[in-house]
Amino acid sequence: MREAPATVPLPVPARPAPVWEIAGGSLPLAAPLVAGILNVTPDSFSDGGEYATIEAALRHADEMVREGAAIVDVGGESTRPGAAPVPAVEEIRRVVPVVGALVRRLPVPISVDTRKAAVARAALEAGAAIVNDVSGLAFDPGLGPAAAAAGAGLILMHMRGTPADMRRRARYADLAGEVRSELEVAVARARAAGIPAGSIVLDPGLGFAKTAAQSVALLGALPRLRASGFPLMVGPSRKSFLGELLGVAPKDRVVGTAAACVVAYRGGARLFRVHDVRPVVEALTVAHAVAGTESR
């Protein structure tokens, strides 16, 4: 097959892309952005204990950025179903030295994956630019004001209850409608705490208070969530809904994760939280190039 001539214009998005305001700057959302996961936990479901030393964590973050991560998301508490809660002091001990070192070392913004105001505050002081709250500001009333004071970007994820009891709460009459209206409650909490609309990203919370079938259905229903007007993030990475579909172990769910990200991109998601950065960046690069040709 012949190469396309060099004069072919690069694909452009159909409408002006939004920008996400985060501490110290903004991220353009014209093209999909990948957030690389850095779990500094002993017990995360797919990579627990792998980045327990600061050196191992930094090496892995470097690698994810080389592979195209636009954000590194650092977490110090596993939220897998039934995970033991971690006290704030322990979470700070795990997360903050890594965040500080990454901020000094990497050219991309650092996000802190926490439900706790004390952890968010310490990470923001160490230079994190984004707070990723899996509870959608339902867990700690101090988290919204802490993010607002720092001018941080804020990811509000949908879940019900806590990781300990969320499985029982996966009952919906109108899945996408209820997820959307519950995310709107989270947005109202954020706005009341002083977070500007341009700093907010929404995430349907795949696997959180959702059965495998519900996670699959939500991936197909993203256009209904997108109608809320906020940029969307998804986190399908290695999750058990892929395990149920594919019958493979977490580390063998890379192709499934990339496929889920492409489907989510087609449904309007612009941010993708994943463990395996390179394959997802490649898959999204292809999806985005094709989308650019459709808009002309």
Task: Give the interface with ligand HH2 as residue ranges (CB under 6 A).
Answer: 37, 39, 41, 44-46, 75, 78-80, 113, 132, 134, 155, 157, 203, 205-206, 233, 235, 273
Which residue's CB is nearer to ligand HH2, number 75 or number 144?
75
Q: DSSP label at 9? A: P
Residue 4 CA from chain centroid, whole number? 35
Which residue's CB is nearer to ligand HH2, number 130 or number 281?
130
Give the separation between CA 34 and CA 240, rounded to whole angstroms.
20
Instruction: Tell me how far, at minimum, the Cβ of 7 lies from ligand HH2, in Å.
Output: 41
Q: Which residues contact 147 (CB under 8 A, 6 or more apart)?
A: 120, 124, 131, 154, 190, 193, 195, 199
Q: How many CA atoms lie within 13 A of 126 on its CB side?
A: 25
Which residue's CB is nearer to ligand HH2, number 37 or number 148?
37
Instruction: Tell me how far, at minimum, the Cβ of 49 lies from ligand HH2, in Å.
Output: 11
Find residue 37's DSSP bridge partners.
73
Q: Quick one: which H or E segment has residue 111? A: strand 110-113
Phi and psi dihedrals of 156, rounded to 5?
-105, 110
Instruction: Tell me how far, at minimum, the Cβ of 3 lies from ligand HH2, in Å.
Output: 38
Find residue 19's DSSP bridge partners.
28
Which residue's CB is nearer to ligand HH2, number 23 or number 155?
155
Instruction: Tell me how far, at minimum, the Cβ of 5 lies from ligand HH2, in Å.
Output: 41
Positions annotated as catalytic residues are 239, 273
Which residue's CB is nearer to ligand HH2, number 45 or number 148?
45
Instruction: Tell me how far, at minimum, the Cβ of 9 lies from ligand HH2, in Å.
Output: 34
Q: Which ranges constitute the DSSP H helices of the chain? A: 54-66, 88-105, 117-125, 143-150, 175-192, 212-220, 222-226, 240-246, 254-266, 277-294
The closest residue (CB) to ligand HH2 is: 235
